[in-house]
A = this chain, B = another copy of it.
């Protein structure tokens, strides 16, 4: 078993006073309410300015195609980051007082004993830096429309500060090996992934930001999934904070909560304007910023596996989209559902399969096995003519039939909520199959 030096390095000072910090949560809640209100009030004001400067787009799923301000994720993001900057001293103030006592500040050897968790502060700032980078790149993308081959890698750039600071502070790259795999290939019960752990974190950032972006196109659909994932993460944080006996684990989940509460605040503020019928669009600015928030929170709180459980619909949507994303099946520029002007309902869009070759057809047949695709066949030759565009939103419309736009969004929200519940079940119900209880909560290994 490897020595967990980094744990010794970080756990002790944080254990000292973090238990006194529950009022920081109260401040965070108040700040989140202010952030909600600020977002809610600022969006209409800034919308006008944005429309004036041409930062607007048509709402395609409305009969008259009204023109609406784009990139309003900018307001949510700026309000969020301003709140988080104002919050910087709050969780650290008690340490500041302790650290200020002369007796605590240096010992006879001349070395300093800081009770101040500067490593936490560094991570907090690095997280903000990554979020800011992503918000910024999202806005640049909205303004100059970066090619998707380039923009898919943008989160890699944005996560650099986070990973660099993870490297110089935590540096924990060990994972607990699931019980069934222990003993295979000489695996102990802790495995040091080293550089691969950083690659995993970077991949998580890329996945998380892009995954939310590809379930989009209906009023409020980005906001509702982010709201539900965020709420699930906060509930998970509360469960851990209340039950864990490990101070370090508690601290991490507290910090993750400090990041999530204002995020929920600005998301609600934004959703109130973005909900059907939308009076603003979030743009890539919002989805990138939201996706990065989840990645950052998962990495800082060391609960990336839990995060991935809650993001199951996004993972499914990504895998489901793969035949189109990787060119096996034709991929039109927009795969969002379309409005049937007669019924006023939203219907799934379809893609022609005329040019699709054998690998693509095999993939579709495989999906058909699980009733995950609606294929139209030639009545005579039985050859495939068309299928629905391979996105979760279209699939829900295929399964449950056409719906109003608001209903379609609610369906996505319900699906998200359902999978978050299942995620909770797996996280708390089944984890014992893979990890012993003691390991699961000790907080010094990735769960």
Contact = CB atoms under 8 A, between A and B. Distances in A.
Interface of A: 3, 5, 8-9, 12-13, 46, 49-50, 53-55, 74, 81-82, 85-86, 88-89, 92-93, 96, 99-100, 102, 105-107, 109-116, 118-119, 121-122, 125-126, 128-129, 132-133, 135-136, 139-140, 143-145, 157, 160-161, 164-165, 167-169, 171
Counting from the closest, the 4 A-B pairs by CB-CB distance are A118-B118, A125-B125, A88-B164, A111-B113
Contacts of A171: 96
A169 B118 contact: yes
A88 B129 CA distance: 12
B89 A55 contact: no
B128 A82 contact: no
B5 A92 contact: no
Count copies of this chain in the complex: 2
Among A46, A129, A135, chain B packs the most CB atoms within 10 A around the CB of: A129
A102 B3 contact: yes
A169 B109 CA distance: 22
* Main SS at interface, chain A: helix
Given A129-B132, A132-B136, A139-B139, A102 B5 contact: yes
Contacts of A13: 111-112
A99 B406 CA distance: 55
Nearest to A111: B113
Given A88-B161, A161-B85, A112 B55 contact: no
A119 B125 CA distance: 12
Contacts of A126: 125
A118 B114 CA distance: 10
B12 A111 contact: yes
A162 to B, nearest CB: 9
A50 B102 contact: no
A171 to B, nearest CB: 8
Nearest to A106: B8
Contact of A165 (B74, B93, B121, B168): B121
A119 B121 CA distance: 9
Contact of A8 (B53, B105, B133, B145): B105
Contacts of A109: 113
B113 A53 contact: no
Contacts of A144: 46, 49-50, 53, 55
Contacts of A160: 82, 85-86, 88
A117 to B, nearest CB: 9
Contacts of A89: 164, 167-168
Contact of A132 (B74, B111, B133, B143): B133
